[in-house]
Amino acid sequence: MSSYLSILTQVIFPIILLIGVGVILHRRFQLDMNTLSKLIMYFFLPAMTFIAIYEASISLSLLKEVVIFLLLQLAVLHFLGKAVSKLLGLGEKSAASFNNSIILSNNGNIGIPVNDLAFRHDPLAMSVQMVVVLFEVVLAFTYGLFNASTASIGLKTSLITFVKLPIVYALVSGMLLHMFQVPLPSFVLIPLHTVANSMLAVALVSIGAQVARLGISRYSRMVLSSSLLRLVAAPLCAYVLLRLLNMNGVIAQALLICSALPTSRNSAALALEYGNEPEFAAQAVLASTLLSSLTLTFVIDLSTRLF
């Protein structure tokens, strides 16, 4: 019970509170969603991506083992999402947003504190978590970006748009500076940290503003399907893959928990930027976050029993 309450009070409730602030602000002031989208995509996300990769501390052997699992999981969820999209009869834009809501999970601001609570500051478990976080960052702005932009503006235009995005250069420069261990002066790192740390609040407020624009009943079938796939089907698939790969112990436990996290706010940011059912994407983030308060503790407990 104490673990359950800790996850609720320290992880889920603060997120819901910030989304609620976004709902209130939008209803009071009618926030400009286009401006919010541009701030997130061109300012906050590049800074967060750069800091996450530049300051990562991960061993090569752990990186290889975890990435193999994550790539297999991506393939399974991709085909699962495509199949369910067809069953639901979704159009191209709706399917793109639906698939991103299944594949992109919130392993950053939810996954890290959940890992810390579940494994009581275990460095191996946190190393696994950071590999997943980095993978999610890359995934969001490769697979997720192309998925969102291709449905909206076509493959050729999306490729041109992709190379113009600052997040691409933040990703590459972060990796290069990390690989060659290039130190950055404090007058560069301090503002980068300030912007990166603000990303969560701005993103969640923007999700709240999106939710405030439209009632959930219009997307209830899509939202429910997305949440079930993200919170139930994904960890089931992860369990099968972990068994097939013969992974056990803390690494397997951490990966199973990572697979059960709710939809990433980045899926909503991408949907908003490219006009792929942004209201659904925001509602998918909110619904899966709320429902994860019921499912996460169960998966955490199950991970210790299974592995």
Contact 267, 151 (CB under 8 A): no
Summarised one tens digit per residue, pLDDT across range 39-81 is 887 898 788 878 877 887 767 777 888 999 999 999 999 999 9
* Of 298 and 261, the one with more pLDDT: 261
pLDDT of 86 above 70: yes
> Where is pLDDT greater, at 103 or 175?
103
Instruction: Write down all domains in the chain, each with its CATH number in brackets.
Output: 2-306 (1.20.1530.20)
Which residues make Cβ contacts (< 8 Å) with residue 258, sequence separation at least 6?
105, 107, 111, 115, 128, 129, 132, 238
Average pLDDT, the chain: 84
User: What are the φ and ψ backbone dihedral angles of 161, each rounded to 5 degrees?
Assistant: -60, -40
Q: What is the mean pLDDT of residues 101-116?
A: 83
Calculate helix-pair angle for 278-306, 186-212, nearest 10 degrees: 110
Q: Is the pLDDT of residue 302 over 90?
A: no
The type of residue at 212 is: A
Write down the pTM of the prediction.
0.80
Q: Across residues 190-200, what is the average pLDDT?
A: 88
